[in-house]
Amino acid sequence: MRMAYKCRTYPTPEQAVLLNRTFGCLRVVWNRTLAWRHARYHGEQVKTNFTQANAYLTAMKATDELAWLNEVSSVPLQQTIRHRQVAFTNFFAERARYPRYKSRTGRQSAEYTRSGFRYRDGVLTLAKMDTPLAFVWSWPDLHPATLDPTTVTVSRDPCGRWYVSFAADVADPEQAPATGTVVGVDLGVKDFVVTSDGEKIANPRHLAKRERNLARYQRRMARKQRGSGNRAKARAKVARAHRKVRAARTDFLHKTSARLVRDHDLIVIEDLNVRGMVGNRSLAKAISDCGWGEFRRMLEYKTAKHGRHLVVIDRWYPSSKTCSACGHLLAQLSFGTRTWQCPSCGTRHDRDVNAAKNILAAGLAVSARGADVRPQGSSLRQSAVKREASPVRVGIPLL
């Protein structure tokens, strides 16, 4: 399976100069080809494919004005063209926004494929660089010398920290011992996670505190004159505050997802239309702060890594309005209603726990039919059968 290992790296001043120059070239290539492609589309009504964009890059490098593009490795320049193709594919498939221009103040990154770096015995040397790039390895279970990376990405965050990320195909996923339990997970704003077992994990409050700090730094920056040294200093503070918010959130998401994966053979979540919900202004900020999309990606790779299963059910499934005990479907359930009693069987429900139970039942139904999950080994079937007798499954319609 494919894994990425992201480490801090500490380039020498000479290496930093070359990397910063590479980032500058990448911005120029990205921004110019984006403008060119935009003009082609709106002027001549033609789409641009990778070969055409790559030919445009070659033509740019041949001009006197842009001859300095040849001073850096050609590999990341080509990769940036490739990335933009993917960005446009995602845009046309309505999975992403229109690709934006790159700014010099944001995060910078350069991706090297095999022909752009040498990696031997844990020593990394990038193209056009004479000396190895020092990095800090932080996976004690894996010796860096055994790694066979296929791509290497060097990045610099807006605070000036450097990172190198190794993507590699790792042979054996670490199979965690089966636990014999399954869980349905309802994701929310106040409680980040509510499980079908009734456990609630609140959205951490320290994030809100850090966010207030961030907002304060942003206001300060807005008052400084554009282009001034004070504005640059204020921007650095904003970037640091951003990093702290991001780091705190990522840490929370990692811990929460790791625990769910460790404790359960099968996890069921709802396919939330995060983009559609973010369109609702009042909820937008709260939702984009939650990191549901990132949480789902973490669950995906962690379940794959440890031989667990993740089932994602249809987001139109009425998980909140269905009674998990008898299957009765309410006509309506207002957003503010936290608890309700089933008119049919009389069971009292916590709104979110009931939803999580329904999500679990729907996920088990999906996995029993073999759709959406790859049945590997017996743990899945055992746990599905184990739950077969529980009241959760009774009366729940198949999707």
How many of the other CB atoms lie within 10 Å of CB of 294?
Answer: 15
> Which of residues 200, 254, 345, 382 is near Zn ion by CB under 5 A?
345
Given the rule CB under 5 A, which of 141-149, 159-167, 345-353, 364-372 is the region that contacts Zn ion? 345-353
Q: Among residues 399, 367, 373, which one has the least CA distance to residue 385?
A: 367
End-to-end CA separation in angstroms for the chain: 31
Non-local (6+) Cβ contacts of 307 within 8 A are: 173, 174, 175, 176, 376, 377, 379
Per DSSP, the residues of 267-322 read: EEEE---HHHHHTSHHHHHHHHHHTHHHHHHHHHHHHHHTT-EEEEE-TTS-TTTB
- Would residue 294 show up in a list of annotated catalytic residues for this protein? no
Strand ranges (E), the chain: 2-8, 108-113, 117-120, 123-126, 149-156, 162-169, 182-187, 191-195, 200-202, 266-270, 309-313, 339-341, 348-350
Closest approach of Zn ion to the CB of residue 349, in Å: 8
- Would residue 199 show up in a list of annotated catalytic residues for this protein? no
Q: Smaller CB distance to Zn ion: residue 160 or 391?
A: 391
For residue 326, state whether it binds Zn ion (rule: CB under 5 A): yes
Q: Smaller CB distance to Zn ion: residue 239 or 323?
A: 323
Q: Smaller CB distance to Zn ion: residue 19 or 325?
A: 325
Given the rule CB under 5 A, which of 56-64, 103-111, 271-279, 318-326 is the region that contacts Zn ion? 318-326
Pairing of β 191-195 and β 182-187: antiparallel
Given the rule CB under 5 A, which of 202-210, 232-240, 316-324, 383-391 is the region that contacts Zn ion? 316-324
Closest approach of Zn ion to the CB of residue 392, in Å: 12
- Would residue 350 show up in a list of annotated catalytic residues for this protein? no
Given the rule CB under 5 A, which of 119-127, 242-250, 339-347, 362-370 is the region that contacts Zn ion? 339-347
For residue 125, state whether it binds Zn ion (rule: CB under 5 A): no
Catalytic residue of the set 169, 172, 186, 197: 186
How far apart CA 306 and CA 263 sit, in angstroms, is: 11
For residue 342, state whether it binds Zn ion (rule: CB under 5 A): yes
Residue type (1 letter), 201: I
Closest approach of Zn ion to the CB of residue 341, in Å: 9
Q: Smaller CB distance to Zn ion: residue 342 or 361?
A: 342
Query: Which residues have a catalytic role annotated?
Result: 186, 270, 352
- Interface positions with Zn ion (CB under 5 A): 323, 325-326, 328, 342, 344-345
